[in-house]
């Protein structure tokens, strides 16, 4: 498919990426008067970035360098912007662009190679005087055996951090706290590194306790000028992947900012860097307030979190820079339009990443159709998004869907504005982490700026409510009731609203939210848009305990109104009025409701479903907790397993998940094999429980790693 809304200029740029970063680059190109060429695969035919570009060309894959170079030439592009992820840090791709006469909007291949190998990068920056962490490395192609690993680790001391020498974004990283964990951690890291980067070489470093992850944005041109644009605090992470970023860091003083910035500039100069890049550091604040920091890695591309820098940096007193525009200018040979002394910082900016994941289930990837989408807007609120209603979220790409960015004159105001923005963000059809982000940003340590990369794991925010609020069940039942009532001329006996010749009856709806006990909602229509509603299963006039656990005190008057377009539902229940965005998924029969940044999917169950609950609790059927691909099945039929034994390894969105046995028992059936694609809830293995053996609930291990990049 090719679209040409307006003629291309000779300086057209092909964007070798997808999703929100492709759209973000296209916006800048439009403002600069430069034509844009998008690429897409069959899975992205109607994606927003395809529709936004001047021209769009199909490619075999986003990692297919030859196909992308051919598309650039075919589309009349003179430059290629790789965004982040995919081919953005691939030196061979940068060379292929140059060989084809295309300008690569990024650093030279030599800089990508120098910084892309963590071992070489560490040696390079150390020679330039940049502080580095102690550790040891493997030689390429010569992995250390277990004895050698144990010996080298004993010299450094535990805890240690194992990570691949190639690649980035947290892929393959493992924390090791004792010798017993070392061999297994190294094997898992090698397996993931080889699969992701084609190189299993490992780098092992001292693991800093409660570290701060702080990175510095650098810019360099081809004329020898290198500047830094200050730092970003990226310490709020799960599985070594960033969740919330901010600028500036609440940790650094002005003097410390200058010191760290100078080290980042030295790192960039050490490899002959040109373009926009990020130097990442691990930082520790001593009890005396002194700051120590060590080089972590250099990302030779634009970062996901670059918008917070754009929001706070001022050049000659004017706040706001466009890093993509600066990338393009430098790539065309222009010198940087400002010097270090022209740069200052104003206010505070925060970015929150919206992921397709279930934060309350170990951040497992999710998926589903985009039935409804509402993104926040307003003063100093920015959303970089790559999705639209009608799209489908699958495991084929990275789970990051959008980024919400807010600015304020100080940190407290930026966080307050972020909370309001997240409350307005609603996606129905797929579980996201939006509600978790609101809870995280209210964490006392986050509010105080006392951050560390292990905060989410070691000191998590308050958990989500045990069940949807009672009024959500009531709203879902009323919404269901509206679907069934029909016009006034309908056969009154055919409408389940409690109408009968005598006194009105109650209409019960048994509603279940995933992973929660069902609630029975009794509805009795009083008049148009007015009902009596009782949640749970007590007698009509008896006091009842609501689904949320509080005493409801009997039926309550409720009023409901649905918007003409069906997009929202306004419900007054028990004296409280709330407006919900609503959607119905015909494929699953789930009824989605969302408000204040939280969303719930409920579905009706036959009353007889209650009879199956006890039976299911003792079932040994193991299902996939997410859509993905089976990597390994380490058990066989007839094998005896204990509760918690890994049965199947499933990969979803570039992450591995070990699905474990829910009970002690014997493997009765294995329904999948390595390489098979499985949907969510697909049966993987059946375990025949031991008659008298202890049972446990089904477990899924926390995913080991994830990608920062837009894959």
User: Does any domain span residue 567?
Assistant: yes
Q: Are strands 590-595 and 241-247 parallel, antiparallel or unpaired?
A: unpaired
Q: Are 67 and 60 in contact (CB under 8 A)?
A: yes
pLDDT reported for residue 8: 45
Task: Mark whether 496 and 570 lie in a shared domain.
Answer: yes
User: Does any domain span residue 465?
Assistant: no
Whether the per-residue pLDDT at 640 is higher than 80: the answer is: yes
pLDDT tens sequence across 454-492: 999 999 999 998 889 999 999 999 998 888 876 554 555
The CATH number for 591's domain is: 3.30.700.30
pLDDT reported for residue 11: 73
pLDDT reported for residue 326: 98
Residue 651 pLDDT grade (very low, low, confident, very high; cuts 50, 70, 90) = confident
Q: Summarize the confidence of residues 98-114 as an average pLDDT.
A: 97
Angle ∠(121,123,126) on CA atoms, nearest 5: 105
Whether the per-residue pLDDT at 542 is higher than 50: the answer is: no
Which residue among 609, 632, 650 closes a domain?
A: 609
Whole-number average pLDDT of the chain: 88
Residue 503 pLDDT grade (very low, low, confident, very high; cuts 50, 70, 90) = low
Task: Mark whether 172 and 241 lie in a shared domain.
Answer: no
pLDDT tens sequence across 7-53: 444 579 999 999 999 999 999 999 999 999 999 999 999 999 999 99
Q: Are 102 and 68 in contact (CB under 8 A)?
A: no
Which of the residue ranges 104-113, 410-419, 439-448, 549-558 would you say has the lowest mean pLDDT?
549-558
Environment class of 301 (CB within 10 Å of its CB; exposed 0-12, middle 13-18, buried 19+): buried
Task: Mark whether 579 and 493 lie in a shared domain.
Answer: yes
Task: Mark whether 682 and 560 lie in a shared domain.
Answer: no
The CATH number for 24's domain is: 3.40.50.20
User: Does any domain span residue 188?
Assistant: yes
Q: How far apart are CA 552 and CA 542, in angstroms?
A: 10
Task: Mark whether 161 and 273 lie in a shared domain.
Answer: no
Domain of residue 512, residue span:
470-609
pLDDT reported for residue 156: 87
Partners of 629 in the β-ladder: 651, 677
Which of the residue ranges 226-235, 626-635, 686-695 would you say has the lowest mean pLDDT?
686-695
pLDDT reported for residue 615: 47
477-507: b or e for each residue (b if 16 or more CB lie within 10 Å)? bbbbbbeeeeeeeeeeeebbbbeeeeeeeeb
User: Does any domain span residue 174?
Assistant: yes
Q: How far apart are CA 680 and CA 671, in angstroms?
A: 14
User: Does any domain span residue 47?
Assistant: yes
Task: Mark whether 295 and 198 lie in a shared domain.
Answer: no
User: Does any domain span residue 577?
Assistant: yes
Residue 595 pLDDT grade (very low, low, confident, very high; cuts 50, 70, 90) = very high
Could you tell me the CA-to-CA distances from 681 to 417, 532, 539 in Å, in that order?
38, 36, 36
Q: Summarize the confidence of residues 632-652 as an average pLDDT.
A: 91
Whether the per-residue pLDDT at 135 is higher than 80: the answer is: yes
Task: Quote the number of domains for the chain.
Answer: 6
The CATH number for 177's domain is: 3.30.1490.20
Secondary element (H or E) of residue 230:
strand 226-238
Residue 343 pLDDT grade (very low, low, confident, very high; cuts 50, 70, 90) = very high
Q: Are 459 and 468 in contact (CB under 8 A)?
A: no
Angle ∠(614,617,622) on CA atoms, nearest 5: 145
Which of the residue ranges 68-72, 481-485, 491-495 would you say has the lowest mean pLDDT?
491-495
Partners of 237 in the β-ladder: 242
- H-state helical runs in 104-161: 109-116, 118-127, 146-156
pLDDT tens sequence across 303-321: 999 999 999 999 999 999 9
pLDDT tens sequence across 574-584: 899 999 999 99
Task: Mark whether 506 and 518 lie in a shared domain.
Answer: yes
Q: Are 161 and 205 in contact (CB under 8 A)?
A: yes
User: Does any domain span residue 463?
Assistant: no
Whether the per-residue pLDDT at 709 is higher than 70: the answer is: no
pLDDT tens sequence across 357-397: 999 888 988 989 999 999 999 999 999 999 999 999 988 88
Which residue among 423, 441, 459 closes a domain?
A: 441
Q: Are 363 and 703 in contact (CB under 8 A)?
A: yes
Task: Mark whether 395 and 542 lie in a shared domain.
Answer: no
pLDDT reported for residue 617: 40
Which residue among 346, 362, 379 closes a domain?
A: 346
Could you tell me the CA-to-CA distances from 217 to 166, 236, 314, 532 in Å, in that order?
21, 18, 14, 59
Task: Mark whether 113 and 243 lie in a shared domain.
Answer: yes
């Amino acid at each position: 498919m090719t679209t040409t809304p307006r003629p291309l200029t000779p300086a057209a740029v092909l964007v070798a990426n997808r999703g929100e970063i492709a759209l973000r680059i296209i916006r800048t190109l439009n403002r600069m008067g430069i034509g844009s060429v998008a690429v897409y695969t069959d899975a992205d035919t109607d994606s927003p970035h395809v529709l936004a570009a001047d021209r769009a060309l199909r490619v075999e894959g986003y990692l297919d360098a030859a196909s992308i170079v051919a598309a650039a030439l075919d589309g009349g592009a003179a430059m290629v912007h790789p965004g982040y992820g995919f081919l953005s840090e691939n030196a061979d791709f940068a060379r292929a662009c140059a060989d084809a006469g295309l300008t690569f909007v990024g650093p030279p291949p030599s800089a990508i190679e120098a910084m892309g190998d963590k071992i070489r990068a560490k040696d390079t920056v150390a020679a330039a005087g940049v502080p580095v962490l102690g550790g040891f490395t493997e030689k390429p192609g010569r992995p250390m055996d277990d004895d050698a690993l144990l010996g080298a680790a004993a010299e450094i001391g535990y805890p240690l951090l194992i990570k691949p020498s190639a690649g980035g974004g947290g892929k393959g990283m493992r924390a090791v706290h004792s010798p017993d964990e070392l061999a297994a951690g190294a094997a898992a890291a090698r397996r993931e590194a080889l699969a992701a980067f084609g190189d299993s070489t490992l780098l092992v470093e001292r693991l800093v306790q409660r570290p701060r992850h702080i990175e510095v944005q650098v810019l360099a041109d081809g004329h020898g000028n290198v500047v830094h644009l200050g730092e970003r605090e990226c310490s709020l992470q799960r599985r070594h992947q960033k969740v919330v970023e901010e600028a500036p860091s609440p940790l650094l003083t002005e003097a410390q900012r200058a010191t760290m910035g100078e080290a980042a500039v030295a790192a960039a100069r050490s490899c002959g860097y040109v373009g926009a890049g990020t130097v990442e550091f691990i930082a520790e604040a001593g009890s005396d307030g002194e700051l120590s920091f060590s080089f972590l890695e250099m990302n030779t591309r634009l970062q996901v979190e670059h918008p917070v820098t754009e929001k706070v940096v001022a050049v000659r007193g004017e706040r706001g820079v466009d890093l993509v525009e600066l990338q393009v200018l430098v790539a065309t040979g222009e010198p940087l339009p400002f010097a270090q002394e022209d740069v200052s910082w104003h206010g505070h900016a925060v970015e929150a990443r919206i992921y397709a994941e279930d934060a309350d289930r170990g951040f497992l990837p999710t998926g589903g159709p985009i039935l409804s989408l509402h993104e926040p807007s307003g003063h100093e609120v920015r959303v970089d998004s790559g999705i639209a209603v009608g799209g489908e979220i699958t495991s084929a790409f990275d789970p990051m869907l959008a980024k919400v960015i807010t600015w304020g004159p100080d940190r407290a105001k930026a966080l307050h504005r972020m909370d309001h923005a997240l409350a307005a963000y609603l996606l129905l059809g797929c579980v996201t982490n939006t509600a978790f982000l609101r809870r995280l940003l209210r964490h006392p340590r986050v509010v105080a700026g006392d951050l560390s990369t292990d905060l989410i794991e070691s000191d998590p925010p308050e958990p989500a409510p045990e069940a949807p609020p009672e009024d959500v069940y009531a709203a879902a039942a009323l919404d269901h009731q509206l679907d069934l009532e029909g016009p006034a001329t309908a056969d009154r006996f055919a409408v389940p609203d409690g109408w009968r010749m005598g006194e009105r009856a109650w209409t019960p709806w048994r509603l279940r939210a995933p992973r929660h006990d069902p609630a029975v909602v009794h509805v009795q229509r009083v008049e148009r848009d007015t009902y009596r509603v009782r949640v749970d299963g007590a007698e009509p006039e008896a006091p009842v305990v609501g689904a949320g656990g509080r005493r409801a005190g009997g039926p309550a008057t409720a009023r409901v109104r649905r918007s003409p377009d069906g997009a929202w539902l306004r419900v007054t229940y028990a004296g409280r009025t709330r407006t919900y965005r609503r959607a119905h998924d015909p494929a699953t029969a789930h009824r989605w409701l969302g408000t204040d940044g939280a969303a719930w999917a409920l579905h009706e169950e036959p009353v007889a479903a209650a009879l199956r609950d006890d039976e299911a609790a003792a079932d040994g059927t193991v299902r996939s907790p997410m859509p993905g691909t089976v990597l390994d099945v380490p058990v066989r039929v007839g094998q005896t397993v204990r509760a918690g034994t890994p049965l199947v390894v499933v990969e979803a969105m570039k992450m591995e998940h070990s699905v474990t046995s829910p009970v002690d028992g014997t493997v009765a059936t294995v329904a999948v094999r390595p390489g098979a694609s499985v949907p969510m809830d697909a049966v993987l293995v059946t375990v025949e429980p031991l008659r008298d053996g202890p049972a446990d609930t089904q477990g899924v291990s926390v995913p080991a790693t994830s990608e920062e990049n837009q894959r």
